[in-house]
Amino acid sequence: MAKEGGGEIRIVKKKGGGHGHHGGAWKVAYADFVTAMMAFFMVMWLIGLDAKTRAAIAAYFRDPVGFMEAVRQNKAIFTVNDALPPGGKNTLEMPRAARDGKTRPKDRKTERQELEAFKQYVESALANIPELSRLKEYVKVEFVKEGLRIELLEGEEPVFFKTGSAQITPAARRLLTLIAQKLSKLDNRVVVEGHTDAQPYRAGAFYSNWELSTDRANAARRVLEGAGLRKGQVAEVRGYADTRLRNPMDPFHFSNRRVSILIPYTTAPASE
């Protein structure tokens, strides 16, 4: 429409200026800040680690595929020193867990006699208690360098744990309860270990034989403590996956799937 005088009317719409908080710049700055803080805490965590663990982490980031393959073949940089007893440097001289809070003087000969009596107790229970007699062929009680070891070996069919699970069977619970009732009367500490065969766990990447072996050892620990072991008597719970095979010539053999109860000596061996 023309204005009087022949001029044309133009209508100009001005866009209002947006406020600063309606833009996205602050989000970028905040993301940068969070990333920097995460990196800071990661560096602080790494500084607190020992050199061997830092080297293992660095090796993983340099070659994740090769690193995981080395783990599966038990060639990872953080493998336990084979010169030491299996699973820990403190196994040979494990502190006592005295029943009354006091340690008792004891020599290796006396301690060996106590463990011999305990071994006979377990073997007698397996031979004479009907509900446990079928487990006899799956239980090995033997002296080793570190002390006395009780191994609960799986069979072709599940004996102590449901297949691929940390769910303990009633028979295993009965046996562990019987073991705990006698073991609680000793001053010795206890180490519970879990082992699997080399068959990869079927559940996928987020749960492997490492988790399964540890969960089974923890399940055994809970039964032992619930049946009478004193607070602090369990010194360690270890999960080894398939890195310590009982039958290395047949990595997939069912006997490799086991839970071990190690009762370490608390005294140094007598000098020759």
Query: Tens digit of pLDDT per residue, the chain (272 long)?
Result: 444 455 566 665 655 555 555 567 788 888 888 888 888 877 777 777 666 666 667 666 666 655 666 665 554 544 433 333 443 444 445 656 555 555 566 788 889 999 999 999 999 999 999 889 899 999 999 999 999 999 999 999 999 999 889 999 999 999 999 999 999 999 999 999 999 999 887 765 678 899 999 999 999 999 999 999 998 999 999 999 999 999 999 999 999 999 999 999 988 776 54
Residue 94 has a pLDDT of 60
d(CA 154, CA 222): 19
Residue 260 within any structural domain of the chain = yes
Q: Which helix (H) or strand (E) holds 237?
A: strand 234-239
Report the sign of the C-alpha dihedral through residues 85, 271, 96, 257, in that order.
positive
| 67 and 146 together in one domain | no
**CA-to-CA separations, 132 to 117, 170, 175, in angstroms, rounded:** 19, 11, 7
| 63 and 119 together in one domain | no
Return the biggest CA–CA distance within the chain: 126
| 177 and 113 together in one domain | yes
Residue 246 within any structural domain of the chain = yes
| 132 and 176 together in one domain | yes
Region of residue 147 (left: phi > 0; alpha: psi -120 to 50; beta: else)? left
DSSP code, position 161: B
| 56 and 177 together in one domain | no
Q: Give the list of residues 6+ apart from residue 130 with CB closer than 8 angstroms, or none.
A: none
| 126 and 56 together in one domain | no
DSSP code, position 188: -
| 66 and 118 together in one domain | no
Residue 83 within any structural domain of the chain = no
Indicate the residue type of 27.
Answer: K
Residue 147 within any structural domain of the chain = yes
Q: Show which of 45, 72, 99 is a domain's final residue.
A: 72
Residue 36 has a pLDDT of 87
What torsion, rounded to 10 degrees, do the Cα atoms 167, 169, 172, 176 define?
50
| 119 and 68 together in one domain | no
pTM, full prediction = 0.63
Residue 120 within any structural domain of the chain = yes
Residue 259 within any structural domain of the chain = yes
Residue 65 within any structural domain of the chain = yes
Residue 10 within any structural domain of the chain = no
Range of the domain at 183: 108-264
Give the number of domains in the chain: 2
| Angle at the Cα of 261 from the Cα atoms of 255 and 266, rounded to 5 degrees | 140
CATH of the domain at 201: 3.30.1330.60
| 213 and 159 together in one domain | yes
Beta bridge partners, 153, equal: 258
| 57 and 179 together in one domain | no
